[in-house]
Amino acid sequence: MNDEEDVAVACLCVLNVVAIARRRRGQRRRRMWVKPWIANRESEGSFHKLMKELEQDPEHYKNYMRMDLCTFEELVTQLEPLLKKCDTPMRNAISPSEQLAVTLRFLATGESYTSLQYQFRINKGTISQIIPRVCKAISETLSHEFIKCPTSEEEWEQIAHEFWVKWQLPNCLGAIDGKHVRILHPPGSGSDYFNNKGFFSIVLLAVVGARSEFIYADVGCQGRISDGGVFRNTVNTGV
């Protein structure tokens, strides 16, 4: 080898040593994959501590979870087949009950994933996977049972009767309203989702009966579309 070749080989060796050292340091860091305060989840997290205490105080349990304990447990039973994960030698899986509790707190309060991670002692990256998965499971399991659009003249007449008896509103088949749900700007969508309120959104259109029960919901229409446009789209889909 000449001097230039020796220098090149030496540089490659040094770079290789540096790469191996970095990889080893990364491996050492990965062994510390659970932060100490997260490792205490099963003793100090909200689900394992606060919620267990609130079970003895039904009023505040309902205020915290927006449902009573019996309803929560019934919901867990229905969702468990879709949410249950297996324990591993490294850690215990987050139970369906705890996954549901995190999701209900998010839906009820709109708290950030960062805030929830400190309450439940679950990394926010994991929470960002849990909440969409639980919402999907709820939709797949319960939507057909609990959001039923009337399909017969008799069912519509029953709704109209309830509106008259309860609210003295004649010939009313439902109360309808829309809600802009704020989202991040979808890539490549231009201004399609930019609404007249000044932010990007999708539209939730819902119809409720006299007892405030949802009888129809349409979600996902682009935020730029007016209420009338969303309603026309809903009518055209056969509602």
**Residue 2 belongs to some domain of the structure:** no
- The strand ranges marked E within the chain are 175-182, 201-208, 214-222
End position of a domain, from candidates 94, 127, 144: 144
Reported confidence tier of residue 7, pLDDT bands at 50, 70, 90: very low
End position of a domain, from candidates 127, 144, 161: 144
Identify the bridge partners of residue 178 per DSSP, sorted by sequence position: 205
**Least confident stretch, 124-133, 161-170, 213-222:** 213-222
Q: Mean pLDDT over residues 29-37, rounded?
A: 66
Q: Mean pLDDT over residues 140-144, rounded?
A: 87
- pLDDT, position 15: 55
User: Would the pTM count as exceeding 0.85?
Assistant: no
Check whether 198 has a pLDDT greater than 70: yes
Check whether 171 has a pLDDT greater than 70: yes
In which domain, by residue range, is 119 found? 36-144
Q: How many Cα atoms sit within 13 Å of 189 on the Cβ side?
A: 16
Number of domains in the chain: 2
End position of a domain, from candidates 94, 124, 144: 144
Specify whether 135 is located in the same domain as 153. no
Specify whether 83 is located in the same domain as 117. yes
Residue carrying structure tokens 């994933």: 113
Q: In the sheet where 201-208 sits, what is the strand order?
A: 175-182, 201-208, 214-222
Taken in order 77, 96, 130, 70, the sign of the CA dihedral is positive
